Amino acid sequence: MTIRVAHPRRPPPRSEPGAPLLRLDDLRVRYGGIEALRGVSLEVRRGEIVALVGANGAGKTTLLRTVLRLPGTQVSGSLSFDGIDLLSMETEDVTALGVALVPEGRGVFPNLSVRENLDLGAWGHRDRRAMEESTSDVVALVPRIGERMKQEAGTLSGGEQQMLAIGRALMARPAMLLLDEPSLGIAPKLVTAIFEAIRAIAASGVTVLVVEQNTKVALSSSGRAYVVRTGEIAQEGRSAELLADPQIQAVYLGALVLFYSAGPGPLIRRPPLVLTEGETAPSPPRGR
């Protein structure tokens, strides 16, 4: 399906498809005396899905908060969107450029109806025709949302709330969508539906940067990815290549890389093994 993304007032990005839309260069972010990001450089090209993966506390959420210019940090380096410097801007200025965030924990308003939550997403333009079109697109993307328009958002399941949060962001007609841990606390079946929706959003022309601890899902759903480790970019590349990397498999995908000694000389590495629940690693061959 195609989601309508043209904003009723804001022109589309000047960057050509495939050209960098978001760019960070030597970005350093501090919370008081703690340096959360240390010299991070990355780019997200217009029209692609880029994943940020890594352990909890690596600095992934801090990066998203910094892009949106949320308060509470000291920032240095370079940060630009569509060629425009963001470091001198307030959060409302960044959102006016077309950047929308789906926060960790979903952040829906539990006592408001599903329809009211969606309408709040269009607060920046309040164009009635665009609102109706976007509501129709969200319902086509997630039919269950359409069945619960009058229901309080707090009564939805976790997966439904996540889809509502994504739908609310789409109501703003963003040029770029930032997603923070969209699979957190969600049943596996709904995680699949969420990432199918993310791919449909990107196919409609919205650039996506997604932070995700579920490394396999993130790398399977994105074109490129960055691995964040203790505030730095540890690896980057095509997502398919990172997914096949034995080191990524061992550290983030539960694969056990076995090294056997064959006497004097280098260790011999066996292919990664992914152990399911209840399995144990095989013993090394006798005499080795």
Q: Which pair of tokens denotes residue 32?
A: 């008081």
pLDDT band at 25 (very low <50, low <70, confident <90, very high): very high
pLDDT band at 229 (very low <50, low <70, confident <90, very high): very high
* pLDDT above 80: residue 281: no
Distance CA 121, CA 151 (A): 17
Q: Structure pTM? A: 0.85
> What dihedral angle (degrees, nearest 10) is formed by the CA atoms of 226, 17, 200, 151?
90
* pLDDT above 50: residue 121: yes
* pLDDT above 60: residue 273: no
Residue 57's region, left for phi above 0, alpha for psi from -120 to 50, else beta, is left
Strands (E) across the chain are located at 20-31, 34-45, 49-53, 74-81, 84-85, 99-102, 176-180, 207-211, 224-229, 232-238, 255-256, 259-260, 268-269, 273-274
Work out the mean pLDDT of the chain and round it to a whole number.
Answer: 88
Higher pLDDT, 102 or 33: 102
Token pair 């801007």 is found at 89
Q: What is the pLDDT of residue 185?
A: 86
* pLDDT above 80: residue 269: no
pLDDT band at 252 (very low <50, low <70, confident <90, very high): confident
| CA-wise closest residue to 60 among 280, 215, 164 | 215
Reported as a single tens digit per residue, the pLDDT across 59-100 is 999 999 999 999 888 999 999 999 999 999 999 999 999 999
> What dihedral angle (degrees, nearest 10) is formed by the CA atoms of 83, 86, 91, 93?
-50
Distance CA 27, CA 78 (A): 6
| CA-wise closest residue to 207 among 15, 59, 91, 46 | 46
Q: What is the pLDDT of residue 106?
A: 78
pLDDT band at 182 (very low <50, low <70, confident <90, very high): very high
pLDDT band at 254 (very low <50, low <70, confident <90, very high): low
Distance CA 128, CA 136 (A): 12
Residue 185's region, left for phi above 0, alpha for psi from -120 to 50, else beta, is left
* pLDDT above 50: residue 5: yes
Distance CA 217, CA 219 (A): 6
Give the Cβ contact number of residue 243 at 10 Å: 18
Provide DSSP, 218-243.
HHHH-SEEEEEETTEEEEEEEHHHHH
